[in-house]
Amino acid sequence: MEEINQEQQAEPKRMTRTIKVMTILTFIGCAYSLITAVTYLNPQLTLEMQLEPLQRMLEKAEENSGNEMMVNFYLKSMDNVRILFENKYLYAISSLIGVGICVFGAVEMRKMNRMGFYAYVSGQILPLLASLAITGWNIASGSTFIVSFLFFGIFILIYAFQLKHMR
């Protein structure tokens, strides 16, 4: 009986197709997050460059006089962009740390190690919490947090269903 358990433990677990696909998507997402974080470190990046698209959307929302909720949302978003820009190094560093942890987690999951799942979850939550701590909880950062958490939550759930295949 003990010999069977030892053989099962010694036999390396094979990577599932789901984990292959999900980790590839994770690497792509991490590359995008890395580019975004490095962009914040660019000394030529100005606040006006970041506010310009939001300003255009705000003007369109103001043209539609009955759209007070969207006007308020864009104003709050512009405030968040200003706050993030003022704290861009803190935001970029927290994003870079999160990306590093996520990549480590994805690599470990490709090796079929459960520890990778927990690292991945930590790497996803850290930048979200850091951006909330920097900007505070308002309608814009709250909705961004919820959408991000739903997106990453789907990934976390899919990875969680694969934990039974990991050691």
Q: Is residue 8 part of a domain?
A: no
Q: Which residue has the higher pLDDT, 19 or 73?
A: 19
Residue 1 in this model has a pLDDT that exceeds 80:
no
User: Minimal CA–CA distance to 159: which of 129, 123, 116?
Assistant: 116
Expressed as residue numbers, the domain containing 149 is: 16-165
Least confident among 29-33, 54-58, 92-96, 155-159: 54-58
60-102: pLDDT as tens digits: 878 776 677 778 888 888 888 888 888 888 889 999 999 999 9
d(CA 114, CA 5): 19
Domain-embedded: residue 9: no
- Does residue 2 lie in a domain region? no
